[in-house]
Amino acid sequence: MESTRTLIIGLGQLGCQLINDVDKHSVEKFDLVCALDDDKSKKKVADTFGFIDFGSTNELETKVEELKIDYVILAITNASARFLNDIIYRCLKLEVKTRYVTDEHAKIDEFEYFNTPITKKNLKNLKEFKLSENDLDEKEGAVLVTGGAGYIGNHLVRDLLNDGYEVIVLDSFIFGNSALSDLRDDPRLKLINGSIENIRDVFNSVENVRYVIALAAIVGDPACSLDAKNTMIINYESTKILVEACNYYGVEKLVFASSCSVYGASLEGSYLDEESTLNPVSLYARTRIFSEKYILDNAINFSPSILRLSTVFGFSKRMRFDLVVNLFTVKAIVDKSIEIFGGNQWRPFVHCKDVAKAFKTVALADENIVRGQIYNVGDESLNFTIDQVGDLLKTILPQTSIKSTGDIDDPRNYKVKFNKIKNDLGFKTDYDLESGIKEMIQEIYKNKLLENYQDQIYSNLLTFKEFNLKN
């Protein structure tokens, strides 16, 4: 049996017992090369056992590299949580297998954790010391955000970077990359110019990441209607590729962006929740349902979660003026008038920053809670009719006149409940419709967006139309 070059930390009673018993009770052959102990007097113990090297825990990295260590065994009692956290994370960073033993009264074959090397995924299961959430979150692998340069994505990328995460963005950048331009020098951010329907791009992006947050898609009914075949490829077939990549690399979680549009229509006065019957009335909604089902049915080596988003609004560095609230707002400013088609249709709304917050919340949540779950994202107080949105804008911008065209044939009419995400995760939105509109007005003026708000870059429909023409 080939021996494994091993470093042991701790030469107290537990460490000595471990040295005596390790080869007797393990299927592996451990070659005990080096011992570390901050008590210098323990060098005599190391010499007694024939270790070729001895040092303090400050020398961990040096000893692992110089001695080509394969395994680190922690045999420590009465150490602080801070000390244990530090040692274990340093070992994980060195990419050496690490085992942890604490019970000085047990035999090697009885040690609860000895037979399972510590990994980033099972670190939370250790009972002997307390891990803070900050300790876990700061250093445990990168987060991949597909569509990270987009309307929601750029908010999410900022939030993750601010929390200390490494972030990888996979984006085609058909809307440009200006939303992330101020972050280019951040060493924790990696931008990949690629496509979600390209197998090579997806697999290269997913490798070595912990979480995958899937935002990239053709979003919105008009844009999806331009080219049904292309929509199915980008919105559904690409999901299959992503799932296979997540399974292959064994990522921890995939959090997928779906839409409340999957509900289609509700009975008069009724609210829809995650258990309600789906009634899609558009190609976009159908692609979200297809993708949801495929993810949940084929998640083998990762934890899947689905977020059904309300109609999004609010200011973003990758601004959209093709969303109803955003369009009404800029029209009220420029034209001092908005035109409402119909008006009795119910929609749930949610601010783009709150959506980013929801994705981060689910990605970092306890896997046992969110695995296989579907969550509506929004707040019941943000269910409005289109007429009510117009009335609110007129209150904020009194000079606004409202033109109504009367009834239209719009089957999309739904009010939504959001109790599940509140109860499971304590999620709450930060923005109501009024505060979001007022912030947007300020940012529109600040960023001088009034003159060119009709530019195609602010519209999914116009951008994808141009994209289709070129391709």
Mean pLDDT of 273-289: 94
Q: Is the model's pLDDT at 74 over the cut of 90?
A: no
Alpha-carbon distance of 202 to 147, in angstroms, equals: 12
Q: Are 266 and 344 in contact (CB under 8 A)?
A: no
Return the structure tokens found at 304. Answer: 């899947």
Comparing 23-37, 94-108, 394-408, 435-449, which segment has the lowest mean pLDDT?
Answer: 94-108
Alpha-carbon distance of 31 to 19, in angstroms, equals: 10
For the chain, which residues make up each domain, given as ranges?
3-132, 141-470
pLDDT at position 59, please? 92
Residue of 192, 180, 132, 176 lying closest to 153 (CA atoms)? 180
Domain 141-470 fold? Rossmann fold (3.40.50)
pLDDT at position 320, please? 96
Q: Is the model's pLDDT at 370 over the cut of 90?
A: yes
Alpha-carbon distance of 195 to 197, in angstroms, equals: 5
CA angle 291, 145, 328 (to 5 degrees): 80
pLDDT-based confidence at residue 12 (cuts at 50, 70, 90): confident
Mean pLDDT of 84-105: 73
In 282-323, which ranges are continuous DSSP H helix?
283-298
pLDDT at position 131, please? 42
Burial per residue of 317-338, b for 16 or more beta-carbon CB atoms within 10 angstroms, e otherwise: bbbbbbbbbbbbbbbbbeeeeb
Rg (CA), the chain: 27
**One-letter identity of residue 466:** E
Q: Is the model's pLDDT at 5 over the cut of 60?
A: yes
What is the largest distance, in Å, between two alpha-carbon atoms of the chain? 92
The helix or strand, by DSSP H or E, that contains position 306, with its residue range, turns out to be strand 303-309
pLDDT at position 118, please? 57
pLDDT at position 396, please? 97
Alpha-carbon distance of 131 to 272, in angstroms, equals: 39
Q: Which residue has the tokens 């509506």?
A: 376
Q: How far is CA 230 from CA 303, 358, 458, in A?
A: 28, 29, 21
Domains 3-132 and 141-470 share a fold: yes
Q: Which residue has the tokens 């289709």?
A: 468
Q: Is the model's pLDDT at 111 over the cut of 60?
A: no
Mean pLDDT of 99-115: 53
Alpha-carbon distance of 51 to 5, in angstroms, equals: 12
Beta bridge pairs of residue 54: 35
Alpha-carbon distance of 162 to 167, in angstroms, equals: 11
pLDDT-based confidence at residue 462 (cuts at 50, 70, 90): confident
Please tell me whether residue 281 adopts helix, strand or coil conformation.
coil
Alpha-carbon distance of 260 to 278, in angstroms, equals: 9
pLDDT at position 407, please? 67
pLDDT at position 408, please? 65
CA angle 330, 333, 335 (to 5 degrees): 95
Domain 3-132 fold? Rossmann fold (3.40.50)
What length is written for the chain? 471
pLDDT digit string, tens, across residues 165-212: 999 999 999 998 899 999 988 999 999 999 999 999 999 999 989 999
pTM to 2 decimal places: 0.72
Residues of the chain with pLDDT > 90, as a percent, come to 64
User: Which residues, 6+ apart, have CB-to-CB distance to 207 below 8 Å?
Assistant: 249
Pick from 1-10, 147-156, 342-351, 405-414 the range whose average pLDDT is largest.
147-156
User: Which residues, 6+ apart, have CB-to-CB distance to 331 below 8 Å?
Assistant: 337, 338, 339
pLDDT at position 238, please? 97
Return the structure tokens found at 308. Answer: 């059904």
pLDDT at position 26, please? 57
The helix or strand, by DSSP H or E, that contains position 142, with its residue range, turns out to be strand 142-146
Q: Is the model's pLDDT at 293 over the cut of 90?
A: yes
